[in-house]
Chain A
Amino acid sequence: MPPLIRLLDIHKEHPLGQRKVHALRGVSLEIREGEFVAVMGPSGSGKSTLMNLLGLMDRPSSGRYLLAGQDVQQLDHDRRATLRGREIGFIFQAFNLLGRSTAVENVELALTYAGHPRKERRRRAAEALQRVGLGDRQDHWPGQLSGGEQQRVAIARVLATGPRLILADEPTGSLDSVTGREIMGFLRDLNAAGRTILLVTHDPAVARQARRIVSMRDGQVVGDDIQAEPPAPEATPAAGPGGHSVAVPA
């Protein structure tokens, strides 16, 4: 079986006025299905740029990207959109919920674009919110939820579609450490259920929970360590933030 992700000598230049910012300078990387990878590196090292390419939100300037063996560069705009909706889940630092849609509607969104019937969407969305402990907040607007709760809605949005690849760019960056640990608990659960996770973080404590840490600097991968010790085994809680305990203190 091919690796889920294979990057070959990826370059990315961002146009910036007359100049160009060389954000990625020859990144090659392989990630197998089911891995939990943390991406670390100083600000401006190209982590977000890499995540956007992996999420098919952006195209590299050069190099090849094979997703599950398929060369996704060749795909047109709409095929990439469909693939994003079905196979990739995003969790952002800024949560990115639609302010004019309720929690349950936000969770439903990707299912809507994937063409699932309304009833099934509603059921799956409600179920996902239940799993992140927001079963009673379905009809709340994002503005009525705390940051941690909003990020849990974003997690539920990923849970509902069940994508193979989850891309989390600093998902705990806007949260306090306790709430951050909650979110990490959900990500570990997702990984335990077989989802491949890429996580960008500045927090070594957060990164330590991944099996593998990829380090970046100046648009290049400068380190790729498989952690000797697997993350602390945890009981998979049925629901709710209370169920999580985090092995490594912040």
Chain B
Amino acid sequence: MSPLETLRIAFRAIRANLLRSALTMLGIIIGVAAVITMVALGTGAQRQVAEQIRSLGSNLLLIQPGSPNQGGARLGTGARPTLTEEDAAAIAREVPEVVVAVPTMSGAGHIVQGNLNWSTLVGGITPGYLTARDWRVETGREFTLEEVETAAKVVLLGRTVADILFPGDDPLGRQVRLANTPFTVIGVLASKGQVAAAGRDQDDTVLIPLSTAKLRVLGANRLSRTLVDFLLVKVTTDEAIGPAQQQIRQLLRQRHRLAEGVEDDFRIGEPFAAMEARAASTRSLTYLLAAIASVSLVVGGISIMNIMLVSVTERTREIGLRQALGARRRNLLNQFLVEATTLCVLGGVVGVLVGIAAAFGIGAMAGWPIWVSPASVILAVVFSGAIGVFFGFYPAHKASRLDPIQALRFE
């Protein structure tokens, strides 16, 4: 008998007892729906965090002046400045795990274009900054080394600033005034989007060469020409963060001539460590919830087995008749096995649909991101099928072992 034939018989049996079949499937439906919902919510949250981290720049270390125990100091307004451009150069040179080390200054700035003006965050950077932040120039170009060395009056606009100062216009090559100094726009940065976790619009910023910033915009009341606000260091991989941190600390202590026992005059932090930790805990919570939900799948499987046993008993005479008409053990085994598996797969498919609907419902109500991965859907359906085979086997085996005459005479 062909598989299609067996499937047809299974569908007929399921249809013949529609209400019972539906109730039998309920366990599987609920189990699968629960797993799909949990995984969709969990994966959605995970992807959101991962997306945020990616947009801020991954594998970053932030080195700020001040003692590690000081705490509370914020970017740019740090304690007594201690970090220099040379520190950055030394880190890049001597710590192998470091991809780039960028000395950076930042501060508020007022930018004017025609009769439009805007207050924004001004970053004084070297070319490595964009690499560190995984940031692209959308139109135009980056700073050249020469521009950095000669303190050229050129500026890169964040998307938001470009939109405000040049509504519906191409800002490339145009002039803006920053701290009363004319700057030429050489490029517009790609949008990083609104990152809630970062606390502010990443695109509301302008970048100028570090040298220019010191000379003309942010350097006015700074103590020294070589000091910077902070260093941004990008390391090769996630695993390299720890070792790199150790080596940088050694190097800076040495460079700052800090004696044994004197505390650091800088702090090394992972700006997004908290977010990464959140991503990790979300991930484990997702797996935990999915595991709990899949227990109900096993319960669903047991109810399938129960119903199939009842069904085999009810259909004992049918089994006897089929044997009289030439059904072999394999035919009967397949018939009941396919029936149980079909029930479970149908339940799985319905469960997936219910689960997706529930996930989007919850997501819409709570404002959470949802992500239904195709893998989770396929896995859920395949797993339901496996449950059908596993829990359907015993009843099917029982059916196939019935003695023909006893089955046919069964009352």
CA of A113 to CA of B325, assembled, Å: 7
Nearest-Cβ distance from residue A67 to partner chain B, whole angstroms: 15
B318 within 8 A of A: yes
Partner of A113, one of B328, B405, B408: B328
Query: Are B12 and A84 in touch, CB under 8 angstroms?
Result: no
Q: A58-B405, A100-B12, A118-B5 are in contact. Are A110 and B325 (CB under 8 A)?
A: yes
A178 within 8 A of B: no
* Chain A contact residues, majority secondary structure: helix
Nearest-Cβ distance from residue B10 to partner chain A, whole angstroms: 12
Query: Are A81 and B405 in touch, CB under 8 angstroms?
Result: no
CA of A58 to CA of B12, assembled, Å: 30
Query: Are A98 and B321 in touch, CB under 8 angstroms?
Result: yes
Interface size on A, residues (CB 8 A): 24
B13 within 8 A of A: yes
Query: Are B326 and A82 in touch, CB under 8 angstroms?
Result: yes
Partner of B323, one of A81, A100, A118, A157: A81
A144 within 8 A of B: no
Query: Are B327 and A81 in touch, CB under 8 angstroms?
Result: yes
* A114 partner residues in chain B, CB cutoff 8 A: 326
Q: Which of B321-339 contact A (CB under 8 A)?
A: 321-331
Interface size on B, residues (CB 8 A): 23
Query: Are A90 and B324 in touch, CB under 8 angstroms?
Result: yes
The contact string, 1 if C-beta is below 8 Å from chain A, for chain B 296-330, is 00000000000000000000011011111111111
Nearest-Cβ distance from residue A20 to partner chain B, whole angstroms: 16
Partner of B325, one of A78, A84, A100: A84
B404 within 8 A of A: yes
Q: A100-B16, A112-B5, A113-B1 are in contact. Are A85 and B329 (CB under 8 A)?
A: no
Residue in chain B with minimal CB distance to A85: B326
Query: Are A84 and B324 in touch, CB under 8 angstroms?
Result: yes
* B326 partner residues in chain A, CB cutoff 8 A: 81-82, 84-86, 110, 113-114
Nearest-Cβ distance from residue A190 to partner chain B, whole angstroms: 17
CA of A44 to CA of B13, assembled, Å: 36
CA of A113 to CA of B331, assembled, Å: 8
Q: A84-B325, A84-B326 are in contact. Are A112 and B405 (CB under 8 A)?
A: no
The contact string, 1 if C-beta is below 8 Å from chain B, for chain A 83-104, is 0111000100000101011000
* A82 partner residues in chain B, CB cutoff 8 A: 326, 328
A242 within 8 A of B: no
Q: Which of B1-54 contact A (CB under 8 A)?
A: 1-2, 5, 12-13, 16
Nearest-Cβ distance from residue B83 to partner chain A, whole angstroms: 82
A55 within 8 A of B: yes
* A157 partner residues in chain B, CB cutoff 8 A: 325
Nearest-Cβ distance from residue B399 to partner chain A, whole angstroms: 13
Query: Are B408 and A78 in touch, CB under 8 angstroms?
Result: no
A52 within 8 A of B: yes
A248 within 8 A of B: no
28 contacts between A and B (CB under 8 A): A57-B320, A57-B323, A57-B404, A57-B408, A58-B404, A77-B328, A78-B328, A78-B329, A78-B330, A81-B327, A81-B328, A81-B329, A82-B328, A84-B325, A84-B326, A85-B327, A86-B326, A90-B325, A96-B321, A96-B324, A96-B408, A100-B13, A109-B322, A110-B326, A113-B1, A113-B322, A113-B325, A118-B5
B contact set with A: CB distance below 8 Å: 1-2, 5, 12-13, 16, 317-318, 320-331, 404-405, 408
A contact set with B: CB distance below 8 Å: 52, 55, 57-58, 77-78, 81-82, 84-86, 90, 96, 98, 100-101, 109-110, 112-115, 118, 157
Known: A110-B325, A112-B5. 17 other contacts (CB 8 A): A52-B405, A57-B323, A57-B404, A78-B328, A81-B323, A81-B329, A82-B328, A84-B323, A84-B324, A85-B325, A85-B327, A96-B321, A96-B324, A100-B12, A110-B326, A115-B1, A118-B5
